[in-house]
Amino acid sequence: MALSDTDLTAALAAVDDGLETSLTRLKDLLRIPSISTDPANKADCAKAADWLVHELTELGFDASARPTPGHPMVVAHDQSANGPHVLFYGHYDVQPVDPLNLWHSDPFEAEIKTGPDGEKIIVARGASDDKGQLLTFIEACRALKAANGTLPAKVTILLEGEEESGSTNLAPFLESAKDELKADIALVCDTDMYDERTPGITTMLRGLVGEEIEITCANRDLHSGMYGNAARNPLQVLSEIVASLRNADGSVAVEGFYDDVEELPEEVAEMWRGLDFDGAAYLGEAGLKIPAGEQGRSVMEQITSRPTCEINGMIGGYTGEGFKTVIPAKAKAKISFRLVSNQDPAKIRAAFRAHVRARVPKDCSVTFHEHGGSPAITVPVDGPFLAAARTALSNEWGRETILTGSGGSIPVVGEFKHRLGMDTLLIGFALPTDNIHSPNEKYNLTSYHKGIRSWVRVLAGFGG
């Protein structure tokens, strides 16, 4: 249903007038420690799902929490409009908060603070990833309904509770509910803006392969004075394997890793060269100076359009207080690969395992544990929905909307394409400085406020 200029103005005014109350709702949701990877927080995840069902039901959606073998899926429908049908996706689960001692405030008691640049921010786990982001869409629906009594498009909302722990039950759920969830276009709000004042639509997402390896040498922990030199140390074996994953030039050394990697289309590369992206400043915000990836590639390429291999964790032996002279029997590492278009997750996983096995001594063994995998996604940049969204975002922010890539992985986008035959628009209002997955995660209040206004304009544009 097309909105008149008067209707749109009324909806945007409703966003502005209701901002303080909206922030109270956001704080209520952030207060729930819905850490999906920790069994101790299972009840909290269910509580977050129920909170969202309550809010959506009060807005007039037909909403429910759908059980899965893990955490619930929240599904809500409002089919009252005559416009196109959109499916909005977000996730209500969050990452663990450790190390807790590095937080400046309680990670689950959201606080409004002033950032280093004078910008007002809300600090809490999930503020940016993804509770603040998903609420921008829900609050936009609230404002549209408050101002006009209805939405300009048919809307289905899907909110997941396991995105941060591998989305184990997402694919089976989508398969079982595909007739209910299929729409004209999917919308995902789990990505960044180009910068603090410039909106962006992500058209490229890297894929992901996660692996945990365990090296076993002796059949028990050994006294290093009695067995040192003679006994194989799994920490040393593991360290040598991990070190072998990268070449001196920063490239990945796994055999065949780059076989299917293609260069950026020249028109995209040219657009990126024209942007004012400052790679040194980007690294500087993290306290770093020197790019560590492939030599000859810009920082923007390294973090968005090139594949990666990273060591996410290593453990073995005695790690408690004090000192213990022990040679451990086992050592573990968690390794992840970010993939680009045409790289096959199964092929990369097999190549990695072959790389590791070739470097394990004969009297030692290795076991592997898979932690998810998904291919990269390239979103078509033409079509009426993308055009309407670009116009809507540009009108709200007063700047041209940038089409860009994301270094992160959002497996649901591939699942939407594979299982529901739907393209996805990735429209987010986060910033690279939001400290997602780290202590002191934050979301700019401008991102939240104008994010709500942006979705009002996007939905109005679709309706028109």
Give the domain ranges of the chain. 5-205+377-463, 207-261+307-374
Are the CB atoms for 334 and 311 separated by under 8 Å?
yes
pLDDT at 269: 84
Are the CB atoms for 411 and 170 separated by under 8 Å?
yes
Look at residue 203 and tell me whether its pLDDT is greater than 90: no
Q: At what angle do helices 131-148 and 42-58 cross, to 10 degrees?
A: 20
pLDDT at 69: 97
Of 119, 153, 157, give the one whose Cα is nearest residue 135.
157
CB-based burial, 378-405: b 16+ in 10 Å, e otherwise: ebeeeeebbebbbebbbbbbeeebbbbb
Look at residue 246 and tell me whether its pLDDT is greater than 90: yes
CA-CA-CA-CA torsion sign (442, 202, 396, 76): negative
407: confidence class by pLDDT, cuts 50, 70, 90: confident
pLDDT at 410: 77
pLDDT at 1: 66
420: confidence class by pLDDT, cuts 50, 70, 90: very high
Look at residue 227 and tell me whether its pLDDT is greater than 70: yes
The CATH number corresponding to 207-261+307-374 among 3.30.70.360, 3.30.420.40, 3.40.50.300, 3.50.50.60 equals 3.30.70.360
Q: What does the pLDDT look like over 322-372, one tens digit per residue?
A: 999 999 999 999 999 999 988 999 999 999 999 999 999 999 999 999 998
Are the CB atoms for 281 and 433 separated by under 8 Å?
no
pLDDT at 272: 83
Highest mean pLDDT pick, 283-287, 303-307, 387-391, 453-457: 453-457
More confident residue, 262 or 30: 30
Q: What does the pLDDT look like over 74-112, one tens digit per residue?
A: 999 999 998 899 999 999 999 999 999 999 999 999 999
Of 234, 91, 281, give the one whose Cα is nearest residue 168.
91
Number of neighbours of residue 313 by Cβ within 10 angstroms:
10
Which pTM was predicted? 0.77
Of 102, 55, 93, give the one whose Cα is nearest residue 71.
93
pLDDT at 3: 87
Query: In DSSP terms, which residues pair with 73 in a beta bridge?
Result: 66
Are the CB atoms for 406 and 191 separated by under 8 Å?
yes
CB-based burial, 135-163: b 16+ in 10 Å, e otherwise: bbbbbbbbbbbbbbebbbbbbbbbbbbbb
Cα angle: 82, vertex 85, 87; to 5 degrees: 150
Q: How far apart are CA 12 and CA 143, in angstroms?
A: 7
Class of the domain covering 5-205+377-463? alpha beta
Question: Across residues 133-137, what is the average pLDDT?
Answer: 98
pLDDT at 419: 93
Integer Rg of the chain from CA:
23
CA 312: distance to chain centroid? 16
Q: How far apart are CA 383 and CA 432, in angstroms?
A: 28
Tokens of 259: 């076989």
pLDDT at 97: 97
